[in-house]
């Protein structure tokens, strides 16, 4: 009897230990980060797990995964570790942050595209970029941080900080700064999308390219616009998409120099004929209760979901909306302190926001 009890105790201990360990998920198809069918828990090319990503992710060769919003790697973030294999692409429409004790490996010909800003936090020193890290906005390299490898880091905005990049110090000594953008905006009005950008400086810049996608993966050309070559004065540019797709559109601005090198400068999502917008959570941070609010232009029904930083569903609620401002209160008193995400699928896309539980 004692032997049976001991075996049961050992089994429970092993179960608890395995549950405490992070899971690794591999991208097996291109598409949205939150799409369950794009991930496998076994290996690249493995069977779909029907799950959302866990604590460690691998972007496999030949796949492009798009995350809408801001992404954090490290303690309390979206994942603990990020690997991009050769030929894999991870596109983030918002900002990207590598926290201390995060682990990032980008293999040769692997790519991370960042739509806004990038930060490698103080003393974040397990970051290896042998492929490409393309940052549309500003980049911050915290004191004591390092980026190692033999790839490239391209920054569209300013760079700052006391960290090192490929041995250069301080800041982004070895980054490519062909274009410094002051702004990149997109606005939907009168059945068209107006895209405008301002370059603060240009170096060896042959032309810009504006492309559009309805899924953040497959892009079609909207226009090429001649660059200024070399300039140290602000220059205004604009392009109008007169036939945007209904739903969520992703607009990519890139730049090609006279040597044929191409750099992505930014990716902006634009909602066209979408009824729901203005998703927010308050108070934020919250302790026992919080309110989720959004604006709806019509009456409809859909499901609101709260995920933890591991991508696990924590709260689900079916909402019947009214025209105008809608709100629902969430009891979060039983949740552990940390970062949580709110997802609201509507009109063929997903609105996302985040909040902190104290």
Domain boundaries, the chain: 24-177, 181-272, 276-357
Which one, of 46, 31, 28, lies nearest residue 85 by Cα? 28
Fold of 276-357: Immunoglobulin-like (2.60.40)
- The residues facing 189 across adjacent strands are 192
Query: Is 276-357 the same fold as 181-272?
Result: yes
Q: Is 181-272 a CATH 3.40.190.10 domain?
A: no
Task: Provide CB contacts within 8 A for 357, sequence distance 6+.
Answer: 285, 286, 287, 332, 335, 336, 337, 338, 339, 340
How does 126-155 read in b/e, with b if 16+ C-beta sit within 10 Å? bbbbbbbbbbbbbbbbbebbbbebebbbbb
Give the tens place of pLDDT for each residue, 13-60: 333 333 334 589 999 999 899 887 899 998 898 888 888 888 899 999
Q: Is the dihedral of CA 208, 213, 217, 218 positive or negative?
A: negative
Strand (E) or helix (H) holding 10 = helix 2-20
Across the beta sheet with 152-155, the strand order is 31-32, 64-67, 89-92, 111-114, 132-135, 152-155
CA separation for the pair 44, 210 (Å, rounded): 32
pTM over 0.75: no
CA separation for the pair 36, 194 (Å, rounded): 33
pLDDT tens by residue, the chain, 358 residues: 444 434 433 443 333 333 334 589 999 999 899 887 899 998 898 888 888 888 899 999 989 999 989 999 999 999 999 999 998 999 999 999 999 999 999 998 899 999 889 999 999 989 999 888 888 888 888 888 899 887 778 787 777 788 888 776 544 544 555 677 788 888 888 878 999 999 988 888 899 999 998 877 789 999 999 999 999 899 999 999 998 877 778 898 888 888 787 777 878 888 776 667 788 999 999 999 999 999 888 888 888 999 887 778 899 999 998 989 999 999 999 999 888 988 887 655 677 888 999 9
């Amino acid at each position: 009897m004692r032997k049976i009890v001991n075996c049961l105790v050992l089994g429970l201990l092993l179960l608890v230990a395995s549950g405490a360990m992070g899971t690794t998920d591999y991208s097996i198809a291109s598409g949205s980060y939150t799409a369950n069918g794009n991930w496998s828990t076994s290996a690249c090319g493995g069977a779909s797990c029907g799950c959302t990503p866990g604590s460690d992710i691998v972007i496999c060769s030949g796949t492009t995964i798009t995350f809408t919003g801001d992404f954090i790697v490290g303690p309390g973030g979206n994942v603990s570790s990020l690997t991009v294999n050769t030929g894999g692409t991870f596109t983030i429409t918002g900002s990207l942050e590598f926290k201390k004790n995060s682990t990032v490996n980008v293999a040769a010909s692997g790519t991370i595209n960042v739509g806004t800003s990038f930060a490698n936090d103080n003393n974040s020193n397990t970051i290896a970029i042998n492929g490409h890290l393309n940052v549309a906005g500003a980049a911050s390299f915290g004191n004591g941080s390092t980026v190692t490898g033999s790839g490239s880091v391209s920054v569209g905005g300013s760079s700052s900080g006391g960290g090192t990049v490929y041995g250069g110090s301080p800041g982004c000594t070895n980054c490519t700064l062909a274009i410094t953008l002051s702004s990149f905006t997109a606005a939907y009005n009168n059945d068209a999308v107006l895209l405008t950008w301002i370059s603060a400086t240009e170096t060896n810049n042959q032309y810009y390219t504006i492309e559009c996608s309805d899924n953040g993966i497959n892009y079609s050309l909207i226009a090429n616009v001649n660059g200024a070559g070399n300039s140290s004065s602000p220059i205004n540019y604009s392009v109008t998409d007169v036939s945007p797709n209904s739903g969520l559109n992703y607009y990519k601005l890139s730049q090609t120099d006279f040597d044929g090198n191409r750099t992505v400068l930014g990716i902006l999502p634009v909602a066209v004929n979408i009824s729901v917008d203005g998703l927010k959570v308050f108070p934020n941070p919250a302790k026992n209760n919080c309110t989720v609010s959004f604006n709806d232009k019509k009456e409809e029904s859909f499901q609101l979901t709260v995920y933890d930083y591991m991508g696990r569903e924590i709260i689900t609620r079916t909402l019947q909306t009214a025209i105008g401002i809608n709100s629902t209160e969430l009891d979060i008193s039983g949740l552990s302190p940390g970062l949580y995400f709110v997802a609201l699928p509507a009109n063929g896309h997903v609105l996302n926001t985040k909040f902190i539980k104290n």
